[in-house]
Amino acid sequence: MVLYDHVCEICQAGVSYIRLLDPRGRVECRPIVDAELAALHPSLDPEACRREMHLVAPDGSVHAGGDAIRWLLGHLGWTRPLGWVAGLPGLRGLVDGLYRFVARNRYSISRCRGGSCRVPRPGGLPPGTPLRVFWACYWIGFFLRLPLLAATLVYYPAANTLAYLHTWRRRVDLAGGRLRVCFLGGVRPDLGPLFFGERFYSLVYDGLLIDPGSVLMGRSLVRHLGRLGRETREDFVGVVATHFHEEHVGNLDLAGEALGVPTFAGPATIELLRQPPRLPFMRRLIIGQPRPQGTLRPVLPLGDRLQGRTRTLRVLPAAGHSSDHVALYDPEERLLISGDSFMAAYFTSPNPDVDSRRWIQTLEGFLSLDIEVLTDGHGTIYTERADYGEVPWVVVRAHPRTLLGEKLAFMRWMQAEIARGVSEGLPFDVVEASLFPWGRPWAWKNWYFDELARLMSLGEFSRTELIRSFYRGEPTAERVPARFPRVWNLCLLTRRAARLGPGPGATT
Ligand SMILES: [Zn+2]
């Protein structure tokens, strides 16, 4: 266990590196809280802990300063040789001296206490000072983590590619075939998983085909249906869409016709599907503009129950990700088919459809259910149940309640931070940056995806939209300006992007 000074930007950066080098989380990093120290180890003294980093090893021994650095290097996988080198006579003294120098001067090196996680109250400092201090600290945090951010630029594309290759057009049967997962794609849609790790799939559960993919994925869907075998095809009783987004509804008519079964969606989704809103260019290009659905056979409105082949599923309103979203819940299987109403616990680049306050209510509702298996809308099943086998890149061993609770806590934290920033009259770019203190993993782990999404979607999906999502439908949302990296301000494209306000009413 490492005890660190959480109001020091350099110490926070150090912890980010420990987290990168220790993906399994064997080293616990805790901020120094005076009242807790005695319970952690009787020899820990608050003053000494603040003077230099302290580490309590699993055998109960306590290491401090340069000694703690050597212990960490020697126990974190790749850095073991460095730990050995740092312990060589001669170098040992050098490491200790260097550490002591940085520790003694850490506040003057990183310019401010608190890091970007603390926004100083404007009234507490002379006019103009607080934001200079804030931005100085923010950029120091950024540059301290530049190697870490560069590593994510290599790591995530590589991980995305591996997941994509592993699941390419594949069908995965889980729980003895009760739940089948059909990965969909197409030439252009395949850019989605490669760039953003967002894979597309359709689920087959109890005679229902759920979320049949976008128009550009029609061929892969038809291929899957062909391979399911006549018996399974004859078992189908319906095709269902969880919400109106293009990758979930584009093939409703096609699948209904191919299987000869009725199609279902929530009443609000059906309304939107009569004339689907025109998509921004990038989504049209990669995922495909949906055609009006319900033309071949009417899409039937979902009530609060949906009859599968053998079981009755509950249909739950799940607004937040989009206003029309529904989720399906099987109490017998303790399975929640959440669609996009559960994306990653730390989802930080929403689009203008997202209403975070309603999403919080939806998550609170989910947490009142008994859930053991959770399917998200983009390729991942979360469960600890052994009857759902080990399938790398598809089944993640985590309890759904833990993840839903984590997401809810994160969203509530963001809501409180934004409300505090807005009430203090801070500029929106400062409020946005304060949601991403570099010491928190989502700030640097999501940075690649968030900024790539911001660039590629011309601001439609962005961290700025995160603030708007908490004020959806209110004047505050409209006052949050689009923010782009400087280089984009030079491009004419920005003019178009600046027009992207809180989003067209038709898509919310
Ligand atoms: Zn969606």
Alpha helices in 387-462 (DSSP H): 400-423, 428-434, 441-445, 447-456
Q: Which structure tokens are listed for 375?
A: 């399917």
pLDDT of residue 478: 77
Point out which residues pair with 136 in neighbouring strands.
none
Residue 447 lies in a domain: no
pLDDT tens per residue across span 491-504: 434 343 333 333 33
Cα of 353 from ligand 1 centre, angstroms: 9
Please determine, for residue 439, whether its predicted confidence score (pLDDT) is greater than 50.
Answer: yes
Domain end marker among 377, 395, 411: 411
Cα of 165 from ligand 1 centre, angstroms: 23
The pLDDT of 304-316, averaged and rounded, is 97
Residue 220 lies in a domain: yes
Instruction: Using pLDDT thresholds of 50, 70 and 90, give the confidence band for residue 428.
Output: confident
CA Rg, the chain, in Å? 25
Residue 180 shares a structural domain with residue 64: no
Residue 96 shares a structural domain with residue 177: no
Query: What domain count does the chain have?
Result: 2
CATH number of the domain bearing residue 387:
3.60.15.10
Cα of 297 from ligand 1 centre, angstroms: 24
Give percent of the chain with pLDDT exceeding 70.
90
Cα of 102 from ligand 1 centre, angstroms: 47
Please determine, for residue 141, whether its predicted confidence score (pLDDT) is greater than 70.
Answer: yes
Please determine, for residue 398, whether its predicted confidence score (pLDDT) is greater than 70.
Answer: yes
Please determine, for residue 394, whether its predicted confidence score (pLDDT) is greater than 80.
Answer: yes
Give the domain extent around 97.
Answer: 2-106
Residue 167 shares a structural domain with residue 316: yes
Which residues sit with Cβ closer than 5 angstroms to ligand 1, an ion? 245, 340
User: Greater confidence, 4 or 372?
Assistant: 372
pLDDT of residue 265: 97
Residue 166 shares a structural domain with residue 57: no
Point out which residues pair with 169 in neighbouring strands.
none
- Cβ atoms of 161 and 33 within 8 Å: the answer is no
Q: How far apart are CA 216 and CA 193, in angstroms?
A: 14
Cα of 264 from ligand 1 centre, angstroms: 17
- Cβ atoms of 280 and 273 within 8 Å: the answer is no
For residue 140, give every residue at least 6 positions away whose Cβ sits within 8 Å of its Cβ, in sequence order, or none. Answer: 9, 110, 111
Residue 172 shares a structural domain with residue 98: no
Cα of 340 from ligand 1 centre, angstroms: 5
pLDDT tens per residue across span 468-485: 999 998 888 878 876 655
Please determine, for residue 99, whether its predicted confidence score (pLDDT) is greater than 80.
Answer: yes
Contacts of residues 53-56 at CB distance under 8 Å and 24 or more positions apart, as own/partner, are 53/2, 53/3, 53/4, 53/5, 53/11, 53/14, 53/103, 54/2, 54/3, 55/1, 55/2, 55/3, 56/1, 56/3
pLDDT of residue 114: 39
Cα of 322 from ligand 1 centre, angstroms: 7
Residue 438 lies in a domain: no
Please determine, for residue 113, whether its predicted confidence score (pLDDT) is greater than 50.
Answer: no
- Cβ atoms of 483 and 462 within 8 Å: the answer is yes
Cα of 246 from ligand 1 centre, angstroms: 8
Domain end marker among 381, 411, 441: 411
Residue 80 shares a structural domain with residue 14: yes
Comparing 284-293, 338-347, 421-430, 491-500, which segment has the lowest mean pLDDT? 491-500
Cα of 399 from ligand 1 centre, angstroms: 23
Residue 51 shares a structural domain with residue 196: no
Instruction: Using pLDDT thresholds of 50, 70 and 90, give the confidence band for residue 166.
Output: very high
pLDDT tens per residue across span 254-267: 999 999 999 999 99
Closest CA to 29 of 41, 17, 46: 17
Please determine, for residue 393, whether its predicted confidence score (pLDDT) is greater than 70.
Answer: yes
The number of angstroms, rounded, from the C-alpha of 276 to the middle of its chain's C-alpha atoms is 27
pLDDT of residue 180: 96
Closest CA to 3 of 47, 37, 26, 35: 37
Cα of 341 from ligand 1 centre, angstroms: 8
Cα of 310 from ligand 1 centre, angstroms: 28
Comparing 234-238, 292-296, 411-415, which segment has the lowest mean pLDDT? 292-296
User: Greater confidence, 210 or 92?
Assistant: 210
Cα of 87 from ligand 1 centre, angstroms: 53
The pLDDT of 355-364, averaged and rounded, is 98
Instruction: Using pLDDT thresholds of 50, 70 and 90, give the confidence band for residue 148.
Output: confident
Cα of 67 from ligand 1 centre, angstroms: 50
Cα of 418 from ligand 1 centre, angstroms: 24
Query: Around 183, how many Cα atoms within 13 Å sit in the side-chain half-sphere?
Result: 22
**Listed ranges 2-6, 329-333, 489-493; the one with the highest mean pLDDT:** 329-333
Cα of 323 from ligand 1 centre, angstroms: 10
Residue 263 lies in a domain: yes
Domain end marker among 388, 411, 434: 411
Please determine, for residue 40, whether its predicted confidence score (pLDDT) is greater than 70.
Answer: yes
- Cβ atoms of 298 and 287 within 8 Å: the answer is no
pLDDT of residue 477: 81
Cα of 450 from ligand 1 centre, angstroms: 16
Residue 287 shares a structural domain with residue 353: yes
Give percent of the chain with pLDDT exceeding 90.
51
The pLDDT of 264-276, averaged and rounded, is 95
Please determine, for residue 72, whether its predicted confidence score (pLDDT) is greater than 70.
Answer: yes
Mean pLDDT of the chain: 86
- Cβ atoms of 331 and 345 within 8 Å: the answer is no
Q: How far apart are CA 75 and CA 4, in angstroms?
A: 18
User: Which pTM was predicted?
Assistant: 0.78
pLDDT of residue 499: 38
Cα of 202 from ligand 1 centre, angstroms: 13
Closest CA to 460 of 286, 218, 259: 286
Please determine, for residue 355, whether its predicted confidence score (pLDDT) is greater than 50.
Answer: yes
Residue 162 lies in a domain: yes
Comparing 11-20, 30-39, 213-222, 281-290, which segment has the lowest mean pLDDT? 11-20
Residue 406 shares a structural domain with residue 309: yes
Cα of 453 from ligand 1 centre, angstroms: 15
Cα of 321 from ligand 1 centre, angstroms: 6
Please determine, for residue 109, whether its predicted confidence score (pLDDT) is greater than 80.
Answer: no
Please determine, for residue 486, whether its predicted confidence score (pLDDT) is greater than 70.
Answer: no
The pLDDT of 322-334, averaged and rounded, is 97
Cα of 197 from ligand 1 centre, angstroms: 15
Residue 95 shares a structural domain with residue 198: no
Residue 508 lies in a domain: no
Residue 129 lies in a domain: no
pLDDT of residue 507: 33
Residue 121 lies in a domain: no
The pLDDT of 388-406, averaged and rounded, is 96
Residue 242 shares a structural domain with residue 170: yes
pLDDT of residue 484: 58
User: Greater confidence, 206 or 487?
Assistant: 206
- Cβ atoms of 6 and 12 within 8 Å: the answer is yes
- Cβ atoms of 500 and 351 within 8 Å: the answer is no
Cα of 245 from ligand 1 centre, angstroms: 5
Residue 34 shares a structural domain with residue 175: no
Q: How far apart are CA 65 and CA 14, in angstroms?
A: 13
Please determine, for residue 128, whether its predicted confidence score (pLDDT) is greater than 70.
Answer: no
Cα of 324 from ligand 1 centre, angstroms: 10
